[in-house]
Structure 1
Amino acid sequence: MSAGGAEPAVLRWITALQDLPATQWDALLEQADAPTPFMRAGCLQALDAAARSEQGWRARFATLWRAERLVAACPLYLKAHSWGEFVFDQAWARAYEVHGLRYYPKALVAVPFTPVPGSRLLAIGPAERLALVEQLQEWVQQQGLSGLHVLFGSVADAQALQACGFSRREQPQFHWKRAPHWQGFADFLADLRRDKRKKIQQERRRVAEAGVQVQVLRGSAITAAEWDFFYACYTRTYALRGMSAYLPRSVFEQGLGEQADWVLFLAWQGGERVAAALVAVDWRAGTAFGRHWGALRELDCLHFELCYYAPLAWCLEQGLQRFEGGAQGEHKMARGLLPVGTHSQHWLVHAEFQDAVARFTEAEQQAVGAYEEELAARSPFKPPGPRKPLA
């Protein structure tokens, strides 16, 4: 027994994700400070079809047990590269190589290919979360790995990681948050600066004049044929860049659980489907997540309509409070999405490199802070004051 009388926690590893204790895992997620559907056991198991060893991802999920109770857990991958993370540390890998050191494999706590902020270190309380981090650090050293990285975590995650000497990196994403008085898209437009409002109106007009109509399908209403079409659009987006798509079709058909849905936005022109955008919705949190898009025909402004305007109008109709636009993309500000800070945490075993990374992240954080201030000064919204009808 420990000094506090509690039985010591034991770390167990799960390498076959079908052995994941799904019920207990999801119960921990329910207690998290920032749960998302992407951290559900079922979603992580579905992603295992993409995050496989032959693609440079080797799953070793960490579970911390006290007797037969799961008290902390996280998805961990041994990574042979830095692709699919949306946080860029390739310069660190090159520095290791220059000094004759091995950066890969590294230990990564993340949801593969999913830059959605939320809880990553699941635990029944702060003490268990801290114990999980400490045991992971010890294991990383024992395995001879270069370090441990936690991407897009929550506030509670950050507190535990900072206490264990991790360095913090920040980067903005662009999210939309509903104002209390917005009943529909016209109310949202009315709060934008005149130039932004007119640009959106012009872009939507171009799409309408091209004869495009948008159909919205939710959850079980999405048929196999519609998943076929979406996946053709999704893979074409990558093919145009000379890349292969990260995710297999099975990831999308798996579903997101009882409290969440996939919502598919289809663009039709001349009786044919021409493009698709996929949004995930967490109904309990009142949040939608823009995830993937693709088109089989190039049409002016269709990307903006299908990925931003139609989903935002739909969110307003459905009473949703937030729309997260995903990683990167300063152009999203002109569509009414505002910068929101996200963070990742990094710890390297090599003390001198960890010191160098700490200095780098401190300087980077100052630069990111200045950039976020600059973005805030360019808000697409009018200054607060009496609202006027649309011009």
Structure 2
Amino acid sequence: MPESGTPELTIQTVRSIGGINADDWRAFSGTDNPFLRHDFLLSLEESGCTTAATGWTPSHLMFYLDGQLAGVAPAYLKTHSMGEYVFDWAWAEAYQRYGMDYYPKLLIAVPFTPCQGPRLLLSEQLREWITPERIHQALDSASENLGAHSWHLLFPDAADQQTLGMEEELHRIGCQFHWQNHSYDSFDDFLAVLTSRKRKSIRKERRQVADQGISFRHFSGKNTPDHVLSAFYVFYQATYLKRGQRPYLNREFFFQLRERQPEQLHIVMAVRDEQMIAGALFLHGTDTLYGRYWGCLEEFEHLHFETCYYQGIELAIQQALTRFDAGAQGEHKLVRGFEPVITHSWHGVLHPGFREAIARFTREEAEHVMAYTEDALDALPFRQVGPDQ
């Protein structure tokens, strides 16, 4: 029971985003981040991408403070670790070796989306009242109530970092590469801050793409024709099929995305001999461009870099966006002007023995990630320490 005069925090779970009123969700999420919109999560569910059958049972969190709705969070009960981009396969294998169940686990994240952003969508009142101890205890209890053995909150923003931050808790870091727009007026303006060698290399790559007879067409929102979306989906699924995997998303999802979030959708298609040969899909918020999905059927020299990165940089400059997040993976981005960024995740492991072992792992991993990030900073291709200096 809560102490006298102390507000009571409770968490309820909902098995479909449709069970939460869209206006209620929007009051906490806003509309800037495309992945946190009620529309985006609903499209994932209604298209069949996030269901119990795919191992993504929706279990969205609703936070109540003294009985009043004070926050929400996208969450799923997972029976595998695919589509997360914070890898815990070794943890699951360790559980298995000791004859214990690692799954199900509670995942607080946006499916298939390794992009930083808010995850705990809380009211100002709850954010001010909550402490790291309280939120960790609440998420532990929510996991137990769902029959999960752990919870995992992936890619939080700075506000969530502050809310979650406890030294003794399980905290992992990673490194991604994001492009920063230092008030560039054009692509050439960006190239001007690179070393001569890197500047010449990028210009050569772009020229070689053009010399192969490849040009680019841009489509936005509801003006994107059906045949373009269909062609893009063929390219997208080919990326997975080449690796022997089934794609996470289906054709219906992309059509729903166009209908529900047209103002945030942008597709770049590569064209050769009047035929579309590759494509990349971007989403954007007020200040950030997100490069999300890409695919091609036939390989062409430097086509991936041009379609996914250089076209994205030009788009970010044209729209005066301050940042371009091209997703996970990365050293090939570093030499093209993308800067290292530390990403975070928080984990609640209910078994005390495994919790202690995983804590040691995360501390050792963090040392390696920080060393890698420092090396990456030294390898940036700018003429000076940074474009603004």
Give TM-score, length-normalised by structure 2: 0.91
1:64 maps to 63
How far off its partner does 1:77 sit?
Answer: 1.2
Q: What SS class does the counterpart of residue 327 from structure 1 fall into?
A: coil
Contact 1:325-1:337 within 8 A present in 2 as well: no
1:279 maps to 282
1:43 maps to 40
Judged with a 3 Å threshold, the aligned counterparts in structure 2 of structure 1 residues 294 and 8 are, in CA distance, closer, same or farther, namely: same
Contact 2:34-2:264 within 8 A present in 1 as well: no
Superposition map of 1:1-391 within 5 A:
8-30=8-30, 36-48=33-45, 49-66=48-65, 69-125=68-124, 126=127, 127-128=129-130, 131=134, 133-163=136-166, 165-180=168-183, 182-255=184-257, 260-282=263-285, 284=286, 286-383=287-384
Contact 2:280-2:294 within 8 A present in 1 as well: yes
Q: Tell me the number of residue pairs that the alignment of Structure 1 and Structure 2 aligns.
A: 381
The CA distance in 1 between the partners of 2:17 and 2:365, in whole Å, is 36
The CA distance in 2 between the partners of 1:20 and 1:248, in whole Å, is 24
Contact 1:134-1:164 within 8 A present in 2 as well: no
Q: What SS class does the counterpart of residue 163 from structure 2 fall into?
A: helix
Aligned residue type for 1:255? L
Gaps of 5+ in 2: none
Contact 1:171-1:341 within 8 A present in 2 as well: yes
Question: How much identity, in percent, do the aligned residues show?
Answer: 37
Judged with a 3 Å threshold, the aligned counterparts in structure 2 of structure 1 residues 248 and 135 are, in CA distance, closer, same or farther, namely: same
How far off its partner does 1:153 sit?
Answer: 1.0
The CA distance in 2 between the partners of 1:90 and 1:214, in whole Å, is 39
Q: What SS class does the counterpart of residue 241 from structure 1 fall into?
A: coil
Q: Alignment RMSD, CA only?
A: 2.4
Gaps of 5+ in 1: none
The CA distance in 2 between the partners of 1:251 and 1:367, in whole Å, is 38
Q: Deviations over 1:341-364 (max 9, x none)?
A: 101111111112111111111111
Q: Which piece of structure 1 moves more, 2-11 or 84-93?
A: 2-11
Give TM-score, length-normalised by structure 1: 0.91
The CA distance in 2 between the partners of 1:162 and 1:52, in whole Å, is 31
The CA distance in 2 between the partners of 1:385 and 1:88, in whole Å, is 31
Q: What SS class does the counterpart of residue 255 from structure 1 fall into?
A: helix
Q: Which piece of structure 1 moves more, 35-44 or 167-176?
A: 35-44
How far off its partner does 1:276 sit?
Answer: 0.6
Q: Which piece of structure 1 moves more, 124-133 or 110-119?
A: 124-133
The CA distance in 2 between the partners of 1:36 and 1:82, in whole Å, is 24
Contact 1:51-1:58 within 8 A present in 2 as well: yes
Aligned residue type for 1:12? Q
Contact 1:191-1:382 within 8 A present in 2 as well: yes
Contact 1:109-1:120 within 8 A present in 2 as well: yes
Q: Deviations over 1:90-109 (max 9, x none)?
A: 11111111122111111111
Contact 1:72-1:129 within 8 A present in 2 as well: no
The CA distance in 1 between the partners of 2:314 and 2:224, in whole Å, is 20
How far off its partner does 1:301 sit?
Answer: 0.9
Contact 1:72-1:128 within 8 A present in 2 as well: no
Q: Deviations over 1:4-54 (max 9, x none)?
A: 8576344322113321222111111239xxx62201111111122212111
